[in-house]
Structures are given as structure tokens and as C-alpha cells.
Chain A
Amino acid sequence: MTRVLENGLKVVVEEVHTAPLASVWCWYKVGSKDEVTGCTGVSHWVEHMNFKGTTNIPKEQIKGIIEKFGGSWNGYTWIDQTTYMETASTAGLDRMLFIEAERMANCLYDPEDCESERTVIISELQGGENDPDTLLEQEVVAAAFKVHPYRHPTIGWLSDLQTMTRDDLYQYYRRHYVPNNATVVVVGDVDADDVFRRVEKQFGGIPAGPAPRRVHVEEPEQLGERRIEVARDGTTAYLKLAYHAPGVNDADFFPMLVLDAVLTGAKGINLWSSFRTSPPQRSARLYRALVETRLASSMGGGLLPTEHPFLYLLSATAMEGVRLADVEAAASAALDLVARDGITERELAKAQNQLRARLVFENDSVTNLGHQLGYFMTVATVELYRDAPRRIAAVTADAVNAVARKYLRADRRTVGWFTPESGVSA
């Protein structure tokens, strides 16, 4: 059930009476694509600051506030969205809603806390850079877009993290953390009408703000293949191929999701839970082309639901002693083949079965379900989420073949190599 409060806050409630739990998610339609040059990483930093105390929840009272109800809490920021969650016993429902209302309206941004968090976030960035695969992905994404703000990493560029001020953070917070830019989701052992009343009580008094500015940038068509090679000390070589992909609201999205299942095995569409269990990939085309041939020790593909057209990102870890050029050639041959000849009816049925199963597995808890409702409300609609099984079932081989031809184009891709300098050479 969905309602909208007078201040524009969207509220989604779903009753699930399997355990005495409630999951509360509060979503903001703000992510790293809303950031401007010089302030990259501000959405994520703001997310960190929003765990640091509010007018009515002093900093020293935060510790334990959800733990008292046996709860867990978390938050994350990505390219389209920022979200916060608590899952706890239903007795903690009011507490969870209170925390989220405070977070929306009353965060403090103590200057000392901002400084201390600056180094925590730089530590998060440097921890990510320890992993060559993460580093390569960041470079490939940056090269794949020249205009659209999807090009910069959600964590931000180091120089921006070193120079942004408390006021940059606070202004960004005030601009985007308004009820008319948010969705509250409650899933669990609750009564929907009762939840709507409680949400109204906690959030109803928060005034709407000016509608945040939206990004309307369109990435111009890519005119030729882009290549990037990161050569550093290391032991292992990595390959990434990035193709421009349809956004979730595009009719091409679900055919593309089926295509990804054929190429790399179905993951599902839950960013929070789908990637915890290994996908069925042994009969996937790229697994056979790269892993079973001993060119790569692992491979994977990622197509995530995003508001604007993002990337279909394929990754492979080269087997020691194998040249990246050979891994790339084998991957390209498999991709060219599917673009030229399409998929078989049997592959279509298999991919659809996989996705049907993954959509069941990825919604096995109130937390995971809460994530999906809020995620889709933020980047698309809840209706699209509920309609996903039907849309997947309705995908035809022709539709998959059409997206393969349209998106898997060598002249519109970005190729990334991580070459370990003390190990394999290309």
C-alpha cells in the first residue's frame, strides 16, 4: 500500500507476518549523479554525517538506540539514491520512525565531527583502492562517460574529499533531505493503517522544501571504443568491458537482464541481497568462453536497475600466464556471436527460470523486501517492481536479440585492463 503525505513524503507499507520484526527504510532521491564538480562524494559523506546525532538524539545516545530492540541498522549511497535502514523487533517501530524523522529534519553537522569523518571516508576510499579490481572499475566507469555524472565514483575524488567544507555538506543535506524527496518504507509484522498513522505523526510536521534540481544530462553517443590500461604492481590481471546499458524504465531493460543471464548467469535485481549467493553461471556463455577454457579464473556481469542509462559491466580475472589480449578476444568473440546470431529458445527459457528463482530468493526477509520497494520507488515505481516477474516472463528471444545488437557494440564500449607490472604482461 502506498500513500503520500501532504508534505510530499511517499509511504509504502507491506504487511509480512512471518516473524515479529519490522524493517524501516528511508530513501532519498539523491546520489552521486546529483553532485557537481568539486563536490564529488558529498552524497556519501552526508550519509555518514547523518549517523552523528540530531537535535533530539544527542550523539552519546545513538549507540544502542536500535540495538535495544535487537536491531541492526545501516545505510548506503549509490549513483541514484541514498538510503537508511533499521530492522528490529516490532516493538521498536516508533523508535525507528523517530530516528528517520530526526535524520530528515534535525541532523547537527558538528564541525569537529565533519573533520573526523573526512579521514574515515578517505580511509574507506583507500581501502577500496587496495583492490585492483575496484580500482579498474572506477577508471573504466570514469572513461565510459564524458558528460553524465555517473562517471565519478560515489565515494568521490580524493581532492574533493580533502577540500569540501562543513557548509558544503550541510547545504547539500538541507537541499535534498526534504519529505518531498523521500520515501519511507515499512515492511513486517505490522498493521498497515496503524503504520500510516505513526508515520504521519512522526513526519507530518516536517515542511516540504523546494523540489531538488534534477540532472537532465544525456550522455552523447559514444563514437569509438575507449581503452584504458592501469599498470601497477600486482599479481593478477583483470579485464573489464563496459557497454552502455538501458535504464530501468526503458523497455529494453528486461530483455537486457535476460541477455545478461544468458551471458553470465542471472543475479536478480536486488542490489542489497542478490549478490550474496553465487549465480547459476556454469552454462552461461561467457563462463564457458572464459573460465572453462582456462583463460580466466572467474568472470561476472552486472546490469543493475538505474534511473538513467548506466553500464553493462563485464569482468574477468585472467588466469596467471594468460595474456589479457587473449581473454579480451575470447570475450569479444562470444559477445559478437550473440549480437550476430542471437540466443536460442532454450537459453531464453533457462534465463527466465533463473530470474524467476532469483526474484524469490532475493526477497526472503523483511529487510530485503523493504529494500526493493524503496529502491524501485526511488529509481522507477513500485508497480514496475511488482510487475518484474511478468515482464521477465514476457521477454521474447527477438527482444533479447534486438538488445544484443543494439548495446553490445564494440565501437561503443570501454575496455579496461589492469596489468600487474611484476607479473603477466600483455
Chain B
Amino acid sequence: MSTVVHRGLAAARHVLPNGGIVISKEARTVPAVTFQVSVRAGSIYDANELLGLSHLASRVLDRGTARRGSEEIAEALDERGVSLSVSANRHVLTVSCTCLSEDFEAMLDLVGEIVMEPSFPEEEIDTRRGEVLNAIRQDEDSPAATAVQTLFAMLYPNAHPYGRSAKGRVDTVGRITRGDLSAFHRARFVPSTLMVVIVGDVDRERATRSAERVFGPWQAPGSDEIVLPHPPAERRREERVIPMMNKAQADIAYGFTTIARDDPSYYALTLMNNALGQYGIGGRLGDSIRERQGMAYYVFSSFDANVVEGPLLIRAGVNPANVERTIASIDEEVRRMAAEGLSETELADCKEYLIGSIPRLLETNAAIAIFLQTAEFFGLGLDHDMRLPALLEAVTLEDVKRAALRTLDTTRASVVVAGPYQPGGQ
């Protein structure tokens, strides 16, 4: 079954007999191809006692297959100057590859082996485990990483999969065995959740045929999908301070849980977030905290609706003497947004910006691949790039106000400060 959309990105979508999905898009800007192969094997599937399993799998996956050793893979990549990376987010593990067009077939073959037949060599597991443990220790010394991780744990308590650290903890990563990685692969790497997105200097039909050749014969049963709980709806304001007195600057992370991606108010909240913490230099928050008060080099908000209610984060890095004033300013902007929503001009400006940005954001092969992958994951349709302007355009002032009121409430905010700061005095 194939679907072809002929305007906008004009990507083609093809469903393999084993359920895998292939999306391809020709783009001739440079003689290169970016492709992404993903399966539903993100960190939400980690058992609590094996936290970091998906992340460690992403580090070891490309270090040996049934047919090639680590060394041989390294040579295959390096002799062609290929950029290969494996990353896992909450839901999905993705192998991303950028190569010259001439290397496309060879690299798709290699990535096919990596995804379908990884061998997880013991030696590689130990080396990569050491790297992950080191990265966990580096995060412990980073105020920004500490603040964000602590905030996620507060927003998603009770070991909710969105609240846990994807890298895992020293104890859980330490106990992961080769058997755990193999079992994870058997359970979660299956053609029924496979998505192959190919963008670049390769003929659309050829891209689809190649993907079918590599992934078409793949058969694997896999395990059942898990159902994520909702984060708690009832909340009280909670503030935590993590003193890191060896640091120069304090990082503030402030946030709420919001909505799922399929919530009808998604576009209203996107526009609200743009005005609150992105438009220009950090939206209203940037106007107040950076431009008017000169307190922070960085301050912004980000909004990440997901399969279940995703977070809205506000972040800033400030001198410890300005922590209270910054949190008060964030509170003020949040309160004002919840009470008043946007002005007519602000809404029009944000719409114009987000709609006008689409061609720029879809310029490079890598950006198009991520857009298509996201659209497929959330079931937004192959023509999402063309429908997006109208979806944003349709949002009214009332929609934004309702969405803001529902999401933003300073009495329910979670707030973390990590850095050279202790409450009640310097």
C-alpha cells in the first residue's frame, strides 16, 4: 500500500507487509541522504530496576552485528565519512545516518543489520557502560542537568516513565547484562513499530525499494504495547533547592504538566508558549528577565506535548543573588498569561512567525526527516506540513486563554533551583 502526496513536502508513504512504514522524500540540495530508522524502544519501556536499559542499548546497538564486528562497522562508517548516531527518547529509539548519496545503499544495509541483528558484544557493553556512568557523574555536576532532571521527577512522580532519568542511575546501569539487552531487543525491536524515513538525494521509488529489500523480510513478534498512566492532576506548588556551591551560576527549572499531543488545544498552547518564552529573545519572559532586568543570558520556555501529558518548562540561568527575583518574575508572567491570555497583536505576530518559519524549518534533509518522523509517530498525516498553517491560523484568542488558564497556575507550579544558592541568604 502506498500513498503519495504531491504538494508541500510531497513525501511518499509505503507500508511493508510486515507492518513497517517507509516514508521517503527527494531533496536535491546537496548530494547527500539522511535517513532515520526507528522502533518503539524508548526509555518508557525500561523496568525500574533496569533504568537506563534503552539508553545503554542505544550506545551498544551499533557496536556489533551478527555479521560484522565493532571494528568492521567503524571502518565502514569512517572510510566514507558517515555520520551515524543512535538516540533514544521517551518512546522511540532512532538510528540516524547522514551519508553521501553514493553510499546510501551500503549504509542502509549496515543500519538494517544494526537494527535487526545486533550482537551486543560483552566487551562493548562494558566499555559503553563506563561511558554512560561517566556521563551520569557529569550530569550530577551540572546545575542545568540537575535542575531539569529534578523537575521531571517532581512533575512525574511515583516512577512515572516521563519522570525518570533516561540515562538511568549508577546502580541500575551497573546491573544491566547482555541478557537484558538481548531481551529488550527481542521485545521492542519489531517490524510492527518500524519506521524508516529517507530524505535527500535519492529517487523516491529507489528509496522505498531499498528499504523494502532491507526490512521487508524482517519478522519478529515482540511484546505488547504498554499503557502510560496520566501524571497526577491534583498538585500543590512545590519548590526544591539543590545547593551546588562550587558553581558560578544558578539554574532555575520551573514547570507544569500540560496536554497530550492529540489534545485539540495543542495549537493554542503552541502559540501561547511561543509568546510566553520564545518569540524574539525568549518571548515575554525574555523581555522581562533578560531585556528589562538584565538578570539572565538565557531564559525561555519549551512545550513538549507527548503521548500522555507532556511538560511545559521554563528555564533560566541567573546569578544566585537574583534567584528570588527571577522566580517572582516568572510567576508574574505566568499569572498574567493565565489571567489575560494574549493580545490580538501578539497572537497575530506569533501566528505569522510560526507559519512563516515552516519553509525555513524544512530546509535541510535532517530537519525534514525529523518532521516526517514526528508526524508519522503522532499520526498527523503525510500532508501535515501543508495543513499546519491552517491549524495555527484557526486558533482564537479565546482558545489561547482557555488553554493558558487550564495549564498555567503558579499555585501548582513545580520549581527547582540548582547552583550556588541556599534559600534564606547568601
Contacts and interface: CB of A to CB of B under 8 A. Distances in A.
B279 A67 contact: yes
A121 B247 CA distance: 17
B349 A64 contact: yes
Interface in B129-151: 130-131, 133-135, 137-138, 140-144
Interface stretch (A68-76, A221-229, A337-345, A407-415): A68-76
Nearest to A366: B363
Nearest to B29: A18
Nearest to B127: A294
Contacts of B77: 280, 282
Interface string A12-50: 000010111100000000000000000000000000000
Contacts, number: 206
B130 A68 contact: no
Interface string B143-172: 110000000000000000000000000000
A360 B296 CA distance: 37
A132 interface: yes
A129 B353 contact: no
B318 interface: yes
A291 B74 CA distance: 13
A132 B141 contact: yes
Given A120-B290, A120-B296, A278-B83, A67 B78 contact: no
Contact of B279 (A64, A124, A297, A320): A64
Interface string B54-81: 0000000000000000110111011111
Interface string A231-243: 0111110000000
A350 B297 contact: no
B66 to A, nearest CB: 19
Give the size range of B's interface with the partner: 35 or more
A122 B292 CA distance: 16
A117 B292 CA distance: 9
Contact of A357 (B81, B140, B349): B81
A167 to B, nearest CB: 19
A104 to B, nearest CB: 21
A319 interface: yes
Given A67-B353, A297-B134, A129 B81 contact: no
Contacts of B245: 233
Interface size band for A: 35 or more
Given A64-B279, A67-B349, A236 B360 contact: no
Interface string B277-303: 001110000010011111111100000
Contacts of A88: 356, 360
B349 A68 contact: yes
A340 to B, nearest CB: 23
Given A130-B249, A317-B138, A361 B78 contact: no
B248 A116 contact: no
B406 interface: no
Contact of B356 (A70, A119, A121): A70
B357 A72 contact: yes
A277 interface: yes
A117 B364 CA distance: 34
A58 to B, nearest CB: 14
Given A130-B142, A297-B130, A297-B135, A72 B360 contact: yes
Contacts of A20: 359
A215 to B, nearest CB: 28
Contact of A282 (B78, B356, B357, B363): B78
Given A319-B134, A364-B29, A127 B249 contact: yes
A358 B81 CA distance: 7
A280 B293 contact: no
Contacts of B248: 125-127, 129-130
B142 A265 contact: no
A123 interface: yes
A108 B41 CA distance: 54
B359 A21 contact: yes
Contacts of B133: 320
18 contacts: A21-B360, A51-B281, A67-B280, A72-B360, A116-B292, A119-B294, A119-B319, A126-B319, A129-B249, A235-B140, A277-B83, A280-B82, A283-B71, A291-B131, A317-B138, A319-B130, A319-B134, A361-B32
Given A67-B279, A88-B356, A235-B138, 11 more contacts: A18-B27, A18-B29, A19-B359, A19-B363, A67-B353, A126-B249, A127-B248, A280-B78, A291-B131, A319-B131, A364-B30
Interface of A: 16, 18-21, 51, 62-64, 67-72, 87-89, 115-127, 129-132, 232-236, 265-266, 277-284, 291-292, 294, 297-298, 317, 319-320, 349-350, 353-358, 360-361, 363-367, 420, 423
